């Protein structure tokens, strides 16, 4: 049995976090002794880990619950609608810490066991920590989930691009969740593409289908409805989605928008909704089970500026929902280079508006309903998990 450590920043609600929890629960426990470790002990997803998965955390940060002052702490700490100077100061201190910390000592203090494989399941902080591993026998893997050219949120934890390249060069294997993520990584850091592997995120289609049959009790569907799921953050482009919906309203095209998620822009987006008079936009907050909402909507929309390999779009495909999405990483791999299985529009506000408008056309909508049904076969959870198991076993068996 091989001992494997998966290190991630938190287990708050998010695509990579959900993928990790599902993955470790599915890995063969006769082959792998698994520990999941978070840098910060935030997020209710840890309670979804199977009992045979060991859970550890480096920082507890219990006092942050009082600082954020909200009830959604279990899902995210970024829902405050008021400016919190103390919170901003602490966040800046946290960023500075990772730029100057002695990570050799940090690793030895906090990663006390020896593992056969050490996986940094996110770029940035987890990658920095594992890159300073003092275990010469372990195989080190970094799993990249974002386009590091267009959405390098982790850059603030490094002193320079050279330091970033040095960190990623320390790994035995670099895994990217889509071809575009790989291309961006290799371009940004001048990496040999042969050193970088693409493994798509496993999507548990059977579980998604099973959970989707729950009844919705808090909404009644009346118009053509778009659903979207994601953090209320700049990356997701919800501000331009609201402006696009305003234009649809002005065109007398009746539609509703269900937005599932919480995040730092929650207050700002709700104010924008009121300013634009969008009574047909519903902020539904965090949903432990978003699948009934996706299933009951007519179509799914992704307005993101950048993605890696969108978990929510993949889940919408599994549920047979036509998708309108901006052209960002992973979308062409999910929906086809020429929008064969979903409507991919240019990554700008005008194109997003036109994409939403087009999807509401009955002929186009019916066509994509048929096409997305064909695309479901792309997602086979057992096959995807088996690929990752084989990858990990081959890694430790290398001489």
Same domain for 354 and 212: yes
pLDDT at 78 over 70: no
Same domain for 356 and 322: yes
Top-confidence residue, 357 or 222: 357
pLDDT of 49 reads: 95
Q: Give the pLDDT band (50/70/90) at residue 12.
A: confident
Angle at CA 185, nearest 5°, toward 239 and 93? Answer: 65
User: Per 3-state DSSP, what percentage of the chain is helix, strand, and coil (rounded to 5)?
Assistant: 45, 15, 40
- Average pLDDT taken over every residue of the chain: 91
DSSP letter string over 5-57?
EEEES--SSSHHHHHHHHHHHHS-TTTEEEEEEEEE---GGGGGS-TTSEEEE
Tens digit of each residue's pLDDT (9 = 90 or more) over 281-300: 999 998 989 999 999 999 99
pLDDT of 64 reads: 56
Same domain for 388 and 262: no
In the block, tokens 């990663």 appear at: 111
Same domain for 365 and 310: yes
pLDDT at 115 over 70: yes
Is-contact 361 298, C-beta < 8 A? no
pLDDT at 326 over 60: yes
For residue 171, give every residue at least 6 positions away whose Cβ sits within 8 Å of its Cβ, in sequence order, or none: 120, 127, 130, 131, 140, 141, 142
In the block, tokens 């979804």 appear at: 48
Q: Give the C-alpha separation, 367 to 390, whole Å.
A: 38
Order of strands, sheet of 173-176, starting from the edge strand that comes earlier in the sequence: 54-59, 32-40, 2-8, 117-120, 139-144, 173-176, 196-198
Domain that holds residue 58: 2-202+381-397
Q: Give the pLDDT band (50/70/90) at residue 82.
A: low
pLDDT at 137 over 70: yes
Same domain for 229 and 181: no
Same domain for 66 and 211: no
pLDDT of 60 reads: 83
pLDDT at 71 over 70: no
Q: What would the mean pLDDT of 363-373 be, rounded to a whole number?
A: 96
Same domain for 67 and 121: yes
User: What is the reported pTM?
Assistant: 0.87
pLDDT at 138 over 70: yes
pLDDT at 155 over 80: yes
Percent residues over pLDDT 70 in the chain: 94
CA dihedral 326, 330, 336, 342 (to 10 degrees): -40
Q: Give the C-alpha separation, 215 to 247, whole Å.
A: 31
Strands 224-229, 255-260: pairing kind: parallel
Find the helix or strand (DSSP H, E) in which 301 lies. strand 299-302
Find the helix or strand (DSSP H, E) in which 2 lies. strand 2-8
Same domain for 144 and 8: yes
pLDDT at 324 over 60: yes
Same domain for 240 and 259: yes
Percent residues over pLDDT 90 in the chain: 79
Tens digit of each residue's pLDDT (9 = 90 or more) over 89-107: 888 899 999 999 999 999 9
Same domain for 305 and 251: yes
pLDDT at 308 over 90: no
Structure-block tokens of residue 141: 């893997």
Same domain for 185 and 100: yes
Report the domain count for the chain: 2
Report CA 47 to chain centroid distance, whole Å: 18
Domain with 47 in it: what CATH number? Answer: 3.40.50.2000
3-state secondary structure (DSSP) of residue 221 = coil
pLDDT at 169 over 90: yes
Same domain for 272 and 358: yes
């Amino acid at each position: 049995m091989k001992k494997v450590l998966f290190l991630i920043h938190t287990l708050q609600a998010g695509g990579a976090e959900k993928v990790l929890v599902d993955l470790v629960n599915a890995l063969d426990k006769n082959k792998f002794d698994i520990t999941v470790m978070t840098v910060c002990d935030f997020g209710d997803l840890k309670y979804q880990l199977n009992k045979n998965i060991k859970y550890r955390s480096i920082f507890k940060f219990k006092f942050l619950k009082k600082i954020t002052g909200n009830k959604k702490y279990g899902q995210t700490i970024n829902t405050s609608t008021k400016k919190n100077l103390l919170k901003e100061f602490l966040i800046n201190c946290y960023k500075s810490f990772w730029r100057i910390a002695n990570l050799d000592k940090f690793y030895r203090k906090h990663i006390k066991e020896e593992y056969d494989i050490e996986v940094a399941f996110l770029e940035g902080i987890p990658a920095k920590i594992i890159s300073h591993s003092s275990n010469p026998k372990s195989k080190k893997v970094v799993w990249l989930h974002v386009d590091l050219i267009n959405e390098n949120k982790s850059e603030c934890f490094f002193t320079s691009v050279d330091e970033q390249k040095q960190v990623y060069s320390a790994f035995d294997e670099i895994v990217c969740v889509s071809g575009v993520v790989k291309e961006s990584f290799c371009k940004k850091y001048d990496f040999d593409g042969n050193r970088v592997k693409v493994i798509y995120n496993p999507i548990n289609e059977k579980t998604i289908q099973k959970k989707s049959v729950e009844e919705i009790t808090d909404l009644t569907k009346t118009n053509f409805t778009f659903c979207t799921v994601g953090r209320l953050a700049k990356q997701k482009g919800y501000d331009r989605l609201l402006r696009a919906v305003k234009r649809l309203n002005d065109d007398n095209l009746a539609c509703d928008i269900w937005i599932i998620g919480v995040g730092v822009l929650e207050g700002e987006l709700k104010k924008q909704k009121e300013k634009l008079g969008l009574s047909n936009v519903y902020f539904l907050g965090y949903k432990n089970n978003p699948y009934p909402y996706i299933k009951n909507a007519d179509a799914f929309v992704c307005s993101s500026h950048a993605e890696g390999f969108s978990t929510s779009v993949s889940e919408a495909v599994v549920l047979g929902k036509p998708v309108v999405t901006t052209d960002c990483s992973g979308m062409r791999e999910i929906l086809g280079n020429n929008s064969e299985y979903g409507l991919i529009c240019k990554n700008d506000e005008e194109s997003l508006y036109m994409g939403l408008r087009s999807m509401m056309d009955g002929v186009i909508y019916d066509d994509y309903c048929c096409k997305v049904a064909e695309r479901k076969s792309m997602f086979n959870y057992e096959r995807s998990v088996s690929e990752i198991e084989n990858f990990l076993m081959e890694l430790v068996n290398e001489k």
